[in-house]
Amino acid sequence: MKAFVFPGQGAQFVGMGKDLYDNNATAKELFEKANEILGYRITDIMFEGTDDDLKQTKVTQPAVFLHSVISAICMGDAFQPAMTAGHSLGEFSALVAAGALSFEDGLRLVYARAMAMQKACEAAPSTMAAIIGLPDEKVEEVCAGINREGNIVVCANYNNPGQLVISGNVDAINEACEQLKAAGAKRALPLKVGGAFHSPLMQPAKDELQAAIEKTEFQTPKCPVYQNVDGKPHTEPAEIKRNLIAQLTSSVRWTQCVQNMIADGADDFTECGPGKALQGMIAKINKEVSAHGIA
């Protein structure tokens, strides 16, 4: 069965989408519609901007969304998903591609999300760190021991077995990295991000995005969408909305999404959008499933 997956923030690169714009009339029309909706020419930044221009939150998230969704649309009849999923921001792309959200509404929500997250980042200095080479349970245990008044650190992204991203305020992340290295992590590397995504520190952004999501009409998707908050397939619009609202302060359970997709028959994964980061994660998850089965 064919599964289509969509990347999140961090996959962007200068020049992304230009080939689609130049060579496909549908893509050009959608990119120009996006310029109108956003009120600035995001295509100029995507195609010819600098890395720093592209790293602006108000640019990065809609840029990755646009490249991902337009790539899927331009596949035409070849885009026949049995299921979709997206990593963090990519979940919005997955929902639009599956028909749960219109292109226009998806872009508006992604832009609202980006701006709300930027505000939350500026309100509380915070960051994230990648942890390589420890079982999930050990990382969870260390984080739980550090979580106390004034300190927040949680497991934010379950990317694949042995690779987790933690999220929290700067002091808590630094303390967790030290403890996790002492516990045997191969790497505990702070990431160059502006905030603690998928942690309680994103609550102000969640509140702001919730209002926008609740005002947006969602349809029943043409195939199940495996959502980040629980890794399970969803088709009911009300459930999809609730999960999308919860996503900003909840863990991205990507490992569980992929495990469940494989268990439900996915044997062919196509990544739509910039980069191939998800393919690498899926290969590692698939290897673990083949070796040990799915828990």
The CATH number assigned to the domain with range 125-189 reads: 3.30.70.250
Collapsing DSSP to helix, strand or coil, 190 comes out as strand
Least confident of 173-177, 189-193, 216-220: 189-193
Structure tokens at 228: 């980040």
- pLDDT tens profile 137-186: 999 999 999 988 789 999 999 999 999 999 999 999 999 999 999 999 99
User: Is 88 an active-site residue?
Assistant: yes
Q: At what angle do helices 25-38 and 57-73 cross, to 10 degrees?
A: 150
Q: In this prediction, what percent of the chain has a pLDDT beyond 70?
A: 99
More confident residue, 250 or 55: 250
List of residues 6+ apart from 286 with CB closer than 8 A: 258, 262
Question: DSSP 3-state helix, strand, coil percentages of the chain (rounded to 5)?
Answer: 55, 15, 30
User: Is 198 an active-site residue?
Assistant: yes
Do 209 and 112 contact (CB within 8 A), yes or no?
yes
- pLDDT tens profile 222-275: 999 999 999 999 999 999 999 999 999 999 999 999 999 999 999 999 999 999
Out of 71, 88, 126, 251, the active site residue is 88
The model carries a pTM of 0.95
Domain positions in the chain are 1-119+198-291, 125-189
Cα–Cα separations (whole angstroms), residue 171 to 32, 128, 175, 176, 203: 43, 11, 6, 9, 19
Architecture of domain 1-119+198-291: 3-Layer(aba) Sandwich (3.40)
Out of 67, 93, 126, 198, the active site residue is 198
